[in-house]
Chain A
Amino acid sequence: MKKLAFHTMILAFCCGMMTSALAQEQKAAAAQAPAAQPPQETVCFESRKGASEVTKRDLQPGWPNVKCSPKTGAALWYGDPYDGTVPMGKMPGLEKIPEGHAVVKPRSEKLAILPMCATACHNGVGPAFNPPKLPKDKKPIPIPTMEGLLPDAKDLQHGRGRIWCLDCHHTTKRNMLVDNYGDPVSIDQPQLLCGKCHGDKMRDWRDGIHGKRIGEFASTGKKRWFTCTECHNPHNVQDGARNKGFVQIAPEAPPQLPKGMKDAKYERVHGIAH
């Protein structure tokens, strides 16, 4: 009912904006197909806001790939767990999983300027790179463009001052990360980098204890694995002084109040005073 009222409101708003003739046409169309949404897309965020998203579409009539929360815009339900995924690639320790049964959502797709990093700016050309050299004190040179793109870079929180950009990003291939051997790895496989320090978390992640997997529950089943950076902000993992690995998000709506209750104050008043 609420939804209907909401639609009606939107409709009323549109009517106000357009000529009455157009509005009437719209109304007629809306009456004919009340379930049909305007062509505008519903996109919801998954684990961490801004990290990965799904666009709603119907897999079959009345059976969407995802349902989004009207309150917070979060993904609330998955019809298709493999939406927009690609094979995870080689991952030591997961050899038992059959080919193609471990898939991930590529991070690179979300990072729109990634292909340009190593060509537009970090291309080894420029006054500071002739001959190529890096800051000796491992303090990033404050470049306004870079800091504008990545505010976290100003005062890098990850490692609390003990690490810097090139501990994680490849020196000469800036759109890639570094693995244990210093070799470049894709930004879609952050686990190969993060596991270097966070070995215990990596082990738990590999076993499905830490982090999130969706799809088939059998240990050899096809799963979409959420990679490190889908849930954690790699530049500020601990969320500053909060010191928690996961940022705060808005909660979904609370349950219905008991009959006759106006608010939930009663939950706070009883039981606490001893």
Chain B
Amino acid sequence: MKRFAALYLALDASNRSSRKLAALADYFADAEPADAAWALWLLCGERLRHPVPTRVLKLAAMRVSGIDEVLFADCYEAVGDLAETIALLLPDGGADDGLSLAAWIEQRIQALRGLDPDAQVQALAALWRCVDRGDAFVLNKLLTGGLRVGVSRGLALRGLAQATGLAAEVLAARLAGGWRPGVEAWQTLVSPAPSRPTGAQPYPFRLAHPLEQPPEALGAAGDWLLDWKWDGIRGQLLRRESAHLWSRGDESLDAGFPDLIDAALALPPGTVLDGEVLVADGDGVAPFSALQRRLGRKTPGKALLASHPAIFLAFDLLEHGGDDWRERPLWQRREALEALLAAPDGGLARIRPTPTVSAADWDAAVDQRQAARQLRAEGLMLKRRESVYGSGRPRGDWWKWKLDPYTVDAVLVYAQAGHGRRAGLFSDYTFAVWHDGQLLPFAKAYSGLTDAEMREVDRFVRRNTLETFGPVRSVRPELVFEVGFEGIVESNRHKAGLAVRFPRMLRWRQDKSAADADTLDALRCLLG
């Protein structure tokens, strides 16, 4: 635990990626496999699912430090972070007892779950005596769930790559598909044998970046392949021995989309497609809310499958005939994709190549982009014809050119009761984006939700209130919304350093968790 806490504090203390990278590499170079596995899993943004309720954690902290609820609330307000507040309030004299990170998690933290609240309070008091104050902060971070230490998954993998001598992409591929920490899993992960995804493992997704300049800056329009930026969820459809569907967050969608899994079985084994999962509306696509009904069900019933049929609009071919095609140029992958999906097999109707958009020059592309809304698309994707799929996050060859450039995925952090039609409902919200591991509020917005959604959020707010400040409640940061706005300017009056104009909620991203929300840097990029 001590070593992991030291790593965490080193990562937390430095603003420099070079230092963070060195700290990560140092740690992974000689950590025990069981510890390293947990450390990596946590650094990649995973978290232990609520080992103890926040209420119990607070209660235990108040007992141990001998302060009452009001004083605790004062402290929490001054510090702004529950894990840190508790660590600062713990009595002196806690000392590290030498237990490893894996043992801490597996024998101590996870063991809290089964206990009743009184026993949890006692157990926590005992755990806090086994760490010093700095380490208590890291322990509390594990107990409250989120590690959030300003390390991206990519940086964590680079650190591991440096320590093991394996390429970060190889590691990323091996980690994909619901990797769970364990000694064996770790040994497989860092084993030297070259490998690429097999079985149910997807490839690392290639990401596109928002286009922040006029498309003319990209050179000749003819060098680019254009297709629609759909308003669905990104997915990788695998057909190897069996069929699998993965979301970009490495979440399995197999159970939720049996219709797509069935359809994929008609593909030749040794095929992996990248594309967008959507719900069909005749020949076109249904609005995102229709897809949300499917996402809301772990296993959809017959009626829903019939009323909301899923389709997969493929835009890339990563594995073909059992071979890795990611290093081939896009135009080749695209040709092969169309040939593959044009096979005269009715079963493939659900899996289609996404239509390409033809534009002789950028002016024509601008016109096409305007048509996106009618097709329920968000804009255009621009991809260089010669680009490889690669792995990791190269910048420059893939751009998303959205119709409304000003949207971000933000986390609901405060709620306030509304007026008029919305009176009595928590319908006015404050949204935050990530910055240095913390959520920074940047916009307030209301409206944009259906009444049913608003009632649902209202219920969430009532059940997940962290603190009450007069009419305002701070809530557990879990819900993510796409927030749109008309403009953005620098501002000293806001903690985030910028202000947005006419912010409004475009939709509730039930498919995203708080960790997926955008960063302040992403928002700053829009400043132009």
Q: Is chain B found bound to chain A in the same assembly?
A: no
Which residues of B are interface residues toward A (Cβ below 8 A)?
none
Which residues of A are interface residues toward B (Cβ below 8 A)?
none
